[in-house]
Structure 1
Amino acid sequence: MEIRQLYYFIAIAEKRTFTEAASALHISQPSLSTAIKKLENELGLTLLDRSNREVQLTKEGEIFYQKAKKLIDHFEHVTDEMKRLRENGPMELSLGMIESAKYWVPKVLSLFKAEHNDVRIQLMDILSLTDVEKALNNFEIHAAITNQYIDNEEIEAIPIYEERLVALLPGNHPLKNASSLVIEDLNEEPFIICKEGFQTRIDILNAFKKSGVKPNIQFEVERFEISCRLVEEGMGATILPENYVKFDRQASFHVKTLEDPNLSRMVYLAFNKNSYLPPLVLRFMSLVNAFFNGKVNAL
């Protein structure tokens, strides 16, 4: 099987006639017909139903079309990467990340840059599940640091660490001196939560549900930074990842541990299994794993 045959078959599947496909491919119709028949003979499958004026895909043809598209996408991605490398020099590392990773990602990148000083690095906020899947499947990024649980056969998500969720209270809150809280303590509080589409929202609402408490949601936001500022202004309470707030020494809110085993989240390093990952990307991923396994220290 040749790449050329895959391009031919995809053209027929999308144009639905040999005439239009041949025209788009700039080859003769007999040559195209011969190439497709040869492909079917090699596979031992009938891929096209030629009984109608418009060509229809058989069940086997539909499966082959989906697989061929993925192969061509991957092939073109690799080709583009090699062309860019030849024309623009050192490769880039493109990374999507959640907000709470901002405190440790620079530490790993300092190790990475010590080894690959001439590599350009792109860091992008990619927060929701839809955005993570889209960015990975469209090859917009090499990898994503995400807390989203990804159920996608094209994406592999490697757990790297678990982090607790903590409560944030305004500076003048009656419970500001409490050593810790339980979900029930937030029962009547005006509550600030991330909008739909975020795994953290699901985790928080599940914890409320298991405690038999309905949150008094007053604000739905996209970024943790907005949540923090609303809490500082006394607009309500919220629950955020501990790693996001524990290094903020200038904040005027109170951070409280929540005595609830359900309030934690897993953070993953995700990548597209069908994507070509250059050696430098694999090296970054190995440094992340080493960092959280205690094998390196960038502090």
Structure 2
Amino acid sequence: MEEPDKMKLLQLRYFYAACQYSNITEASRALYVSQPAITNAIRDLEKEFGVTLLQRLNRGFQLTEEGEFFLLQATELLKHADQVTEIMNDRGQKRKLIRLGVPPMIGTCLFPNIYKAFKLLYPEIHIDTKEHGSQDLLKLLDRDYLDLVILPTNEIPVSDYNVINFSNTETVFCVSNNHSLANKKKVSIDDCLTQPLILFHSGFYHTTLINKIFKERGAEPNIIHTSTQLETIIQFIRKDIACGFLFDEVVNNSSGVRGIPFDPPISIQVGLVYKKNHQMFTAMIDFIQFIKAGDFLNQR
């Protein structure tokens, strides 16, 4: 009887994708391979090890105990294989990629100058940018889906991450030009307690910050809508549907919106964040040194 082939990385990737999507059909679409290719790869693994990895159901499947254990091992093996590939590509000068995370407001007011200045110096390096809330970006960084993130760093634990602060900004209270508070030079949090608010979704630093400030006042923010889209938030404010909290630089570039400073000010530090003891690739080192030099700040 012919022995099955020894376990291959491709089989592990098929099995991992099936588990990630909880569906072989969806996994086949994501990988651009046939369903039988994935099914046969999993069956070959089961045959090789003499275990059942998946319990087939009428719709989809569920992992067996052995399948749960194997998924943990496969995840670590694939992660290590990808790291080895990146290391060797870096040694061969083929890894010209930075996976960077940026929240929407930083992506609007700071990142364009950073991107432009960096690409002038390193046109061969591709920056693959993901835009999410700060907390979600940190999770992606922790799971090695991102190399670097640019975030508000006020509450980033320096015991867990390397942090390079390069800018300070101020959060202001944002209203339409027709709002009753529009002519005030400064506001306090107490002025905002009863105002209808639009905030970013949970997972965004600003939302966490505002909820914390309101809680310290013993109050709940009057949130009428949340969004992940900066433009949606600006439109709600511009049309006098709700008020919001944005970076001063964002408001300066938004017509029909008035940003009022807080008394005392709500100051935000912005910096580059990356994991400690992380494999450093040449492109990452170039970007870190570029941020440390800070020449892009002169273009603001």
TM-score (norm 2): 0.65
**CA 1:125–1:173 in 2, change beyond 3 Å: closer, same or farther?**
same
2:284 matched to which residue of 1?
Answer: 281
Q: Which runs of 5+ in 2 are unaligned?
A: 1-44, 50-65, 67-71
Per-residue deviation, 1:77? 3.5
Q: 2:190 aligns with which of 173, 184, 189?
A: 184
User: How far apart, in 2, do the equivalents of 1:108 and 1:272 lie?
Assistant: 21
1:266 is paired with a residue whose SS is strand
Per-residue deviation, 1:212? 4.9
TM-score (norm 1): 0.65
CA shift digits 1:186-227 (9 cap, x unpaired): 232111122223221121122233345543221122233221
2:266 pairs with 1:257:
no
Instruction: Confirm or deny: 8 A CA contact 2:101 2:132 kept in the other structure.
Output: yes
Deviating above 6 A after TM superposition, structure 1's stretches of 4 or more consecutive aligned residues are none
2:138 pairs with 1:133:
yes
User: How far apart, in 2, do the equivalents of 1:86 and 1:265 lie?
Assistant: 38
Per-residue deviation, 1:128? 4.1
Q: Which one has a bigger Cα radius of gyration?
A: 1
1:236 matched to which residue of 2?
Answer: 242
**CA 1:134–1:207 in 2, change beyond 3 Å: closer, same or farther?**
closer
Instruction: Confirm or deny: 8 A CA contact 2:95 2:283 kept in the other structure.
Output: no
Instruction: Confirm or deny: 8 A CA contact 1:74 1:275 kept in the other structure.
Output: no
The number of equivalent residue pairs is 235
2:299 is paired with a residue whose SS is coil
CA shift digits 1:166-191 (9 cap, x unpaired): 01112211222211212222232111
User: How far apart, in 2, do the equivalents of 1:186 and 1:240 lie?
Assistant: 14
Per-residue deviation, 1:145? 0.8
Instruction: Confirm or deny: 8 A CA contact 1:165 1:242 kept in the other structure.
Output: yes
User: How far apart, in 2, do the equivalents of 1:190 and 1:135 lie?
Assistant: 32
User: How far apart, in 2, do the equivalents of 1:295 and 1:234 lie?
Assistant: 35
User: How far apart, in 2, do the equivalents of 1:110 and 1:128 lie?
Assistant: 22
CA shift digits 1:76-119 (9 cap, x unpaired): 33322145568994511221101222222222223322222122
Instruction: Confirm or deny: 8 A CA contact 2:198 2:224 kept in the other structure.
Output: yes
Paired letter, 2:246: L
User: How far apart, in 1, do the equivalents of 2:176 and 2:268 lie?
Assistant: 24
Per-residue deviation, 1:275? 3.0
Q: 1:223 aligns with which of 229, 240, 243?
A: 229
Alignment of 1:91-240 (within 5 A): 91-102=96-107, 103-129=109-135, 131-147=136-152, 149-150=155-156, 155-240=161-246
Per-residue deviation, 1:139? 2.4
2:17 matched to which residue of 1?
Answer: none
